[in-house]
Amino acid sequence: AQSVAQPEDQVNVAEGNPLTVKCTYSVSGNPYLFWYVQYPNRGLQFLLKYITGDNLVKGSYGFEAEFNKSQTSFHLKKPSALVSDSALYFCAVRDIDSSYKLIFGSGTRLLVRP
Amino acid sequence: NAGVTQTPKFQVLKTGQSMTLQCAQDMNHNSMYWYRQDPGMGLRLIYYSASEGTTDKGEVPNGYNVSRLNKREFSLRLESAAPSQTSVYFCASTPGENSPLHFGNGTRLTVT
């Protein structure tokens, strides 16, 4: 069965420092991977996706993610964190059995301190 | 652009009561979804509708029913609410497979 794991419940980083939010996946076949962000009392917003092509994917708000097939990872990164990046981040993978369905990780809370 | 609109924003029910959560999108998307979000568990798919006229069960469909009323609207019904259904419910839509989901702002439901 397909799955995605976010091993950290929370990531703390100082403003201006680089940030990484980790995601690993388990799928048969080629994975289609997504990152979403959720701000308080709001729905999820799409950040970026990997379907095929370059392993480094650029997305909204200066975020990027690196697809690593050998490590089955899709970590979210940003070179310089902002306090406004503080939010809940979700990794997701497309369900191989039904391309209309996404399987979400449990989420990682990012806290950027001034 | 309204995007995906969910009503109500908040609801408190007593065990055994019924209610319908409404969702409408104005982006002419084909596919619509209902998720629930619980702390530490991410989002779990309840039901989805790949296209108008079709609905399918997701990961946690028990205790829920859905109706794809037309291309714009996808409602979620709780026939007999239980405390285990206390959650935040999100509706989402997408133009097609592999396209990003667009989410509403959620309905916070408490069942006492």
Q: What is the pLDDT of residues B41-66, one digit of tens each?
A: 889 999 999 899 899 999 999 999 99
Helix (H, G, I), strand (E, B) or coil at A18: coil
**Does the beta-carbon distance from B97 to A100 stay under 8 Å?**
yes
Q: In a 10 Å sphere around its CB, with 0-12 CB exposed, 13-18 middle and 19+ buried, how is residue B48 labelled?
A: buried
Nearest Cα residue in chain B from A93:
B98
pLDDT at B70: 95
Give chain B positions within 8 Å (CB) of A33.
none
Q: What is the pLDDT of residues A2-28, one digit of tens each?
A: 889 999 999 999 999 999 999 999 988
Q: Are A106 and A48 in contact (CB under 8 A)?
A: no
Q: What is the pLDDT of residues A99-110, one digit of tens each?
A: 678 899 999 999
Nearest Cα residue in chain A from B40:
A106
pLDDT at B101: 93
Q: Are A34 and A51 in contact (CB under 8 A)?
A: no
With a pLDDT cut of 70, the percent of chain A lying above it is: 99
**Does the beta-carbon distance from B98 to A45 stay under 8 Å?**
no
Number of A–B residue contacts, CB under 8 Å: 54
Give chain A positions within 8 Å (CB) of B4.
43
- Mean pLDDT for the stretch of residues A64-88: 96
Question: Cα-flanking dihedrals φ and ψ of residue A98, to 5°?
Answer: -150, 110
Question: Which residues in chain B show pLDDT less than 70?
Answer: 1
Beta-strand runs (E) in B43-94: 43-49, 56-57, 64-68, 74-78, 87-94
Q: Is the predicted pLDDT of residue A98 greater than 90, yes or no? A: no
pLDDT at A99: 67
Helix (H, G, I), strand (E, B) or coil at B111: strand
Instruction: Report the residue from A32, A36, A107 with minimal CB separation from B98.
Output: A32
